[in-house]
């Protein structure tokens, strides 16, 4: 598996601002298309021949027009005209990042990114930009990387020009208002503090701190209160003045790249870009250059030992490697990440698994700084592997030696080349904001010709000399080895995150051994990949209105099969999903844990097959669902049925081995223990589900039963899993009706269980909090050094079957999104993590606000409660125009055009899995929303939010929190001492019922 580093990216996680075809019920079995009258077969072009727009290469089915524009001030823009997009987007990348921080102000570039949002001369209100976007169905974000700062937004397509006007002013006349400075320094500090107990950030900073001290990679780049306020103040440094200087030193038009997507034609987009961005000043600044390297031989041949926060054992190898960015046609790093990260037969990971030394492995090459590359290999060790980490290290160098003597081999490169071309040719549209953000950054790679800016991921040129050069660099003289475990001995502490570590030279004996490793007969290169497709034929129908729901092909007491042939995206891909109803898997916490072990062990047993398929663009996944198991095969359709057959055969006949059971029990135990060490806000959803959803269990309960589970328990449980079942399947994409029937037969031939009766089937339900009652669940976080507390304030409003009530609640969520963020995050500075929105359980819904902060939970609860009270006034004073704008934004979101086949598939699968089978719910809800008035909203707010509400407050307490402020009247609600006992006081809401009877006749497409 290929990995990528954090790459010094500091993402603003705010969650607000930023951070079909005519056919009969009985299908024909011939290969003739049952649907057309007019059908065109799309064989697609031969490999390595791409269509272009203004000489820019683009995917085969990309109907967008492209143009690169160079403004007189030096700014470069990529214009993308997409006549079908519902959302427009723009991104601007400045080729300056944290590497350019002044030595005396670590985090200055990141601070600049934050403060840039806080008003401009033309639009001085600090939340003008975010309010405009929110009112028009949009959002924005930004991140600071090592050599880039990237800003981007998305908005309903009609409002692009207004958004561009506001956006462009950041780079023309930002205020950097002194009144915002202190607040945003605290926002940066809060962002940093949320990461202090994150192993990802801690170990990454350790890697940086131990790098060459002369290179800026060595620095602390996030910034905090100490670096941006306390130290500068003590030295008489005016941070705002330094910020203004940094902006003028760095934010020059000639270092900026802009990418924009809009419905407008290229001529209009060009006019807007020139008009809005021509006044961005060009200070004639040169791109920052760094003469030294992040890693030298002084940092090589080291053994670093580090203690993580979570329970984990890991061996990480980092090699000084060539930076082959400018040889972008070759992709040497990808060549080696493919081979070293391979998981199939003969791979390094497969060998380590036979020894019970490792659970996983990832590898990848990347550029740390221009001209300086790095290649990393990360190995997840078992407890046994930790004991023998030097043997694991030796096996790794044995595999590298195999590559050195075996490579380069053109057939391997050709496979990768074919797959890269295939993936580019059939690439579908994705999020507009994500697209422009990436493209703006890619434009900074000026060594890539303009025509290849979109297609740069394609492997084009086999160069054995470059491949050999890269492979030869992966040697012991260029390596740093990091052993990560809570059991290692350390004698130092990293300055910024407090990570305990030690550094020593690799022993001469070990170096000598690793320099000339013997070849290992159990290691060999992968076999040719039989899953790579060769048939990309798609039958495209002309002038067909896409169907809005799938057809029901078969329905009996064992299976319900849904099918939809792709009728609008025309890609050679498909999805096959199975929702397998298995009451035994969710009956008890013991069964839940046994099922989890079964799934992990089965996935492990299938790795040789599934990994090869994944490399060829065909994925397989199996996981526990709320009613049993969920199985998915997705990707290029030609060989999807082959993979499905292999998976199902293994699924129903699988028997685990005791040695792998022991490995995965250890891994599962560690994962459960680590759960409480995740960032607090990410734990809220699980706690919430455990309180309000049926057949769910707390992490602590699972851990308790897991401790006593034996291999014999799993062996006895496995044959019972598929004794009785009901399967619901969705088959969608480039499958003909005959193929869909064949897939159904594959499912039936393999899953030959007894049927479930109607009363035996698991039906998901949620508990209802009694009206006008408030409950409070409190839990101490196990991480004694994490100072962050998190509060979720949830008001339960109704049952999902009550569509009008759900719509008005969702509209309220749209209305409060920006005000909640602006009040609690920007003005009150409660914490970096603040977000709000509609929250659904299995059969109920409500509205929530989450805040993670160093303030105590009592204070946070009081401020959230105060926001809801104060918003009553805001709502009363809200103009009809603003109310209608927010309604329009929500309606537009519901009617948004599907971007790709996966987007449609997710929509259908959700309608099936939630039990309502309402494939047209967006249209239904749109009609309801159109009729909601401001007066009705005000009445709803007063009756359901301010009073008579059912409320659940979840407080995750930090043991290290030093804020002891009390607030009169808080905390509120009855404390939940025992979740099980509490549930006995609640009633279960009814399970979902289909909006119409599930018959083949009812779900036959209507022409």
- Got the DSSP string for 380-446? EE-HHHHHTHHHHHHHHHHHHHHHHHH---HHHHHHHHHHHHHHHHTPPP--HHHHHHHHHHHTT-T
Q: Do 162 and 230 share a domain, yes or no?
A: yes
Q: Do 624 and 729 share a domain, yes or no?
A: yes
Q: DSSP code of 757?
A: P
Domain, as residue range, for 87: 62-277
User: What are 921-925's contacts with CB under 8 Å, separation 24+?
Assistant: 921/803, 922/894, 922/895, 923/548, 923/895, 924/803, 925/803, 925/806, 925/807, 925/810, 925/894
49: confidence class by pLDDT, cuts 50, 70, 90:
low
Average the pLDDT over 247-269 and give the result: 98
CA atoms within 13 A on the CB side of 47: 16
Average the pLDDT over 803-828 and give the result: 96
Q: For residue 391, tell me if it sits in a domain.
A: yes
Average model confidence (pLDDT) across the chain = 93
| CA dist., res. 139 & res. 17, Å (int) | 5
User: What are 648-652's contacts with CB under 8 Å, separation 24+?
Assistant: 648/746, 648/747, 648/750, 648/751, 649/750, 650/602, 650/605, 650/606, 651/602, 651/622, 651/722, 651/750, 651/751, 652/722, 652/750, 652/751, 652/752
| CA dist., res. 18 & res. 21, Å (int) | 40
Q: For residue 994, tell me if it sits in a domain.
A: no
984: confidence class by pLDDT, cuts 50, 70, 90:
confident
3-state secondary structure 484-536: ECCCCCCCEECCCCCCEEEEEECCHHHHHHHHCCCCCCCCCCCCCCCCCCCCC
Residue 458 pLDDT:
96
Q: Do 246 and 339 share a domain, yes or no?
A: no
Residue where the block lists tokens 């002013």: 169
Q: Which of 57, 113, 343, 854 is catalytic?
A: 113
Question: 3-class DSSP state for residue 113?
Answer: helix
Average the pLDDT over 89-110 and give the result: 98
Name the domain boundary from 515, 548, 580: 515
Q: Does residue 147 surpass a pLDDT of 60?
A: yes
Cβ neighbours for 159, distance < 8 A, ≥ 6 positions apart = 88, 132, 136, 138
28: confidence class by pLDDT, cuts 50, 70, 90:
very low
Q: Do 735 and 778 share a domain, yes or no?
A: no
pLDDT tens digits, 880-909:
999 999 999 999 999 999 999 999 999 999
Question: Which run of H or of E encompasses 61?
Answer: none
Q: Do 875 and 950 share a domain, yes or no?
A: yes
Q: For residue 72, tell me if it sits in a domain.
A: yes
- Would you state the structure tokens that stand for residue 744, as one six-digit string? 């159904």
Residue 959 pLDDT:
87
Average the pLDDT over 295-303 and give the result: 96
| CA dist., res. 643 & res. 274, Å (int) | 52
Residue 94 pLDDT:
98
Residue 960 pLDDT:
87
Strands (E), 82-176: 87-94, 139-144, 149-156
Q: For residue 169, tell me if it sits in a domain.
A: yes
Residue 908 pLDDT:
98
Average the pLDDT over 79-86 and give the result: 96
Q: Do 725 and 617 share a domain, yes or no?
A: yes
Q: For residue 134, tell me if it sits in a domain.
A: yes
Q: Do 664 and 600 share a domain, yes or no?
A: yes
Q: For residue 746, tell me if it sits in a domain.
A: yes
Q: Do 154 and 207 share a domain, yes or no?
A: yes
Residue 1004 pLDDT:
87
Q: Do 726 and 618 share a domain, yes or no?
A: yes
Q: Does residue 22 surpass a pLDDT of 80?
A: no
Q: For residue 497, tell me if it sits in a domain.
A: yes
Query: Smallest Cα–Cα separation from 645: which of 618, 626, 663, 678?
Result: 618
Q: Do 864 and 734 share a domain, yes or no?
A: no
Q: Does residue 1 surpass a pLDDT of 50?
A: no
Average the pLDDT over 631-645 and give the result: 98
Residue 627 pLDDT:
96
Q: Which of 9-13, 63-67, 575-579, 754-758 has the lowest mean pLDDT?
A: 9-13
- Bridge-based pairing of strands 724-733 and 774-780 is unpaired
45: confidence class by pLDDT, cuts 50, 70, 90:
very low
| CA dist., res. 790 & res. 686, Å (int) | 13
Q: Do 892 and 956 share a domain, yes or no?
A: yes
CA atoms within 13 A on the CB side of 860: 29
Average the pLDDT over 600-612 and give the result: 97
Residue 15 pLDDT:
30
Q: DSSP code of 2?
A: B
This prediction has a pTM of 0.91
What's the structural domain count of the chain? 4
Annotation says 732 is catalytic: no
Do 137 and 155 contact (CB within 8 A), yes or no? yes
Residue 962 pLDDT:
80
Q: Decide: residue 724, CB within 10 A, 0-12 exposed, 13-18 middle, 19+ buried.
A: middle
| CA dist., res. 76 & res. 917, Å (int) | 48
Q: Does residue 631 surpass a pLDDT of 50?
A: yes
Q: For residue 1003, tell me if it sits in a domain.
A: no
Question: Which run of H or of E encompasses 225?
Answer: helix 225-225
Q: Does residue 683 surpass a pLDDT of 50?
A: yes
Q: Does residue 662 surpass a pLDDT of 50?
A: yes
Q: What is the CATH number of the domain that holds 245?
A: 3.30.830.10
Q: Do 491 and 586 share a domain, yes or no?
A: no
Query: Smallest Cα–Cα separation from 208: which of 222, 195, 197?
Result: 222
Residue 47 pLDDT:
46
């Amino acid at each position: 598996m290929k990995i990528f580093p954090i790459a010094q990216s500091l993402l603003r996680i705010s969650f607000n601002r930023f951070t079909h075809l005519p056919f009969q019920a009985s299908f024909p079995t011939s290969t003739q298309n049952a649907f057309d009258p007019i059908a065109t077969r799309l064989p697609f072009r031969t490999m390595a021949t791409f269509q272009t727009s203004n000489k820019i290469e683009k995917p085969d089915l990309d109907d967008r027009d492209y143009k690169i524009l160079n403004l007189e001030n030096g700014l470069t823009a990529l214009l993308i005209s997409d006549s079908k997009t519902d959302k427009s987007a723009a991104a601007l990348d400045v080729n300056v990042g944290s590497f350019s921080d002044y030595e005396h102000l670590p985090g200055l570039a990141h601070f600049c990114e934050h403060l840039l949002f806080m008003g401009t001369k033309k639009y001085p209100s600090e939340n003008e930009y975010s309010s405009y976007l929110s009112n028009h169905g949009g959002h924005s974000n930004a991140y600071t990387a090592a050599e880039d700062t990237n800003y981007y937004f998305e908005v309903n397509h009609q409002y692009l020009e207004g958004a561009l006007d506001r956006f462009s002013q950041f780079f023309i006349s930002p205020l950097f208002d002194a009144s915002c400075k202190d607040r945003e320094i605290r926002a940066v500090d809060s962002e940093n503090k949320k990461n202090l107990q994150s192993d990802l950030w801690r170990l990454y900073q350790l890697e940086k701190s131990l790098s060459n001290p002369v290179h800026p990679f060595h620095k602390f780049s996030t910034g905090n209160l100490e670096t941006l306020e306390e130290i500068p103040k003590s030295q008489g440094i005016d941070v705002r003045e330094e910020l203004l200087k940094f902006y003028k030193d760095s934010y020059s038009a000639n270092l900026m790249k802009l990418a924009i997507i809009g419905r407008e034609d290229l001529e209009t987009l060009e006019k807007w870009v020139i008009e809005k961005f021509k006044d961005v000043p060009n200070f004639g600044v040169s791109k920052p250059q760094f003469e030294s390297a992040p890693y030298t031989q002084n940092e090589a041949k080291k053994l670093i030992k580090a203690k993580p926060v979570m329970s984990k054992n890991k061996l990480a190898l980092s090699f000084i490697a060539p930076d082959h960015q400018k040889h972008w046609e070759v992709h040497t790093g990808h060549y080696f990440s493919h081979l070293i990260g391979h998981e199939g037969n003969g791979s390094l990971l497969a060998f380590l698994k036979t020894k019970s030394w490792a659970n996983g492995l990832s590898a990848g090459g990347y550029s740390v700084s221009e001209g300086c590359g790095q290649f990393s290999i990360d190995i997840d060790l078992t407890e046994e592997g930790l004991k023998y980490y030097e043997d694991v290290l030796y096996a790794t160098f044995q595999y590298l030696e195999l590559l050195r003597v075996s490579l380069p081999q053109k057939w391997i490169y050709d496979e990768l080349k074919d797959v890269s071309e295939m993936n580019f040719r059939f690439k579908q549209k994705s999020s507009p904001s994500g697209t422009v953000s990436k493209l703006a950054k890619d434009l900074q790679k000026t060594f890539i010709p303009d025509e290849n800016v979109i297609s740069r991921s394609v492997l084009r040129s086999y160069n054995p000399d470059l491949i050999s050069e890269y492979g030869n660099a992966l040697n012991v003289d260029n390596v740093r080895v990091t052993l990560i475990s809570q059991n290692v001995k350390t004698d130092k502490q990293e300055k910024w995150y407090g990570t305990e570590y030690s550094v020593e030279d690799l022993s001469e004996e070990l170096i000598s051994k690793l320099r000339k490793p013997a070849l290992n007969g159990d290691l060999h290169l992968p076999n040719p990949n039989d899953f790579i497709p060769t048939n990309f034929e798609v039958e495209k129908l002309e002038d067909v209105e896409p169907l809005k729901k799938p057809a029901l092909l078969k329905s009996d007491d064992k299976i319900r099969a849904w099918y939809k042939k792709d009728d609008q995206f025309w890609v050679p891909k498909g999805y096959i999903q199975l929702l397998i109803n298995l009451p035994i898997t969710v009956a008890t916490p013991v069964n839940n844990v046994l099922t989890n072990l079964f799934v992990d062990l089965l996935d492990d047993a299938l790795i040789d097959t599934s990994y090869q398929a994944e490399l060829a663009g065909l994925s397989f996944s199996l996981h526990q669902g709320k009613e049993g198991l969920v199985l998915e095969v997705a990707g290029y359709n030609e060989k999807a049925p082959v993979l499905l057959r292999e998976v199902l055969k293994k699924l129903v006949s699988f028997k685990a081995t005791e040695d792998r059971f022991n490995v995965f029990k250890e891994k599962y135990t560690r994962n459960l223990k680590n759960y409480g060490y995740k960032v607090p806000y990410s734990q809220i959803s699980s706690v919430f589900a455990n309180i309000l959803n049926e057949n769910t269990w707390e992490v602590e309960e699972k851990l308790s039963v897991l401790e006593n589970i034996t291999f014999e328990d799993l062996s006895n449980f496995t044959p019972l899993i598929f004794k009785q079942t009901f399967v619901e399947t969705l088959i969608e994409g480039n499958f003909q009706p005959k193929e869909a029937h064949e897939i159904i037969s594959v499912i039936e031939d393999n899953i030959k269980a007894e049927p479930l009766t109607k009363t035996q089937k698991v039906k998901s339900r949620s508990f209802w909090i009694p009206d006008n009652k408030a409950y409070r669940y409190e839990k101490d976080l196990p991480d004694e050094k994490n100072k962050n507390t998190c509060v979720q304030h949830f008001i339960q409003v109704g049952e999902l079957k009550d569509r009008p009530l759900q719509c008005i609640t969702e509209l309220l969520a749209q209305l409060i999104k920006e005000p909640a963020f602006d009040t609690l995050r920007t003005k009150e500075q409660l914490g970096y993590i603040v977000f709000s929105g509609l929250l659904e359980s299995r059969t109920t819904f409500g509205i929530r606000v989450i805040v993670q902060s160093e303030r105590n939970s009592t204070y946070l609860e009081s401020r959230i409660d105060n926001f809801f009270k104060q918003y009553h006034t805001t709502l009363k004073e809200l103009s009809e125009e603003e109310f209608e704008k927010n309604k329009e934004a929500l309606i537009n979101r519901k009617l948004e055009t599907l971007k790709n086949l996966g987007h449609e598939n997710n929509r259908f699968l959700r309608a099936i899995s939630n039990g309502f089978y309402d494939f047209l719910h967006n249209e239904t809800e749109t009609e309801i929303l159109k009729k909601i008035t401001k007066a009705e909203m005000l009445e709803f707010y007063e009756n359901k939010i301010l009073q008579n509400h059912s409320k659940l407050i979840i407080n995750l307490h930090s043991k290290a929190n030093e804020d002891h402020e009390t607030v009169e009247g808080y905390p509120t609600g009855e404390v939940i001492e025992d979740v099980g006992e509490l549930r006995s006081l609640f009633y279960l809401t009814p399970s979902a019922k289909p909006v119409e009877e599930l018959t083949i006749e009812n779900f036959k497409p209507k022409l």
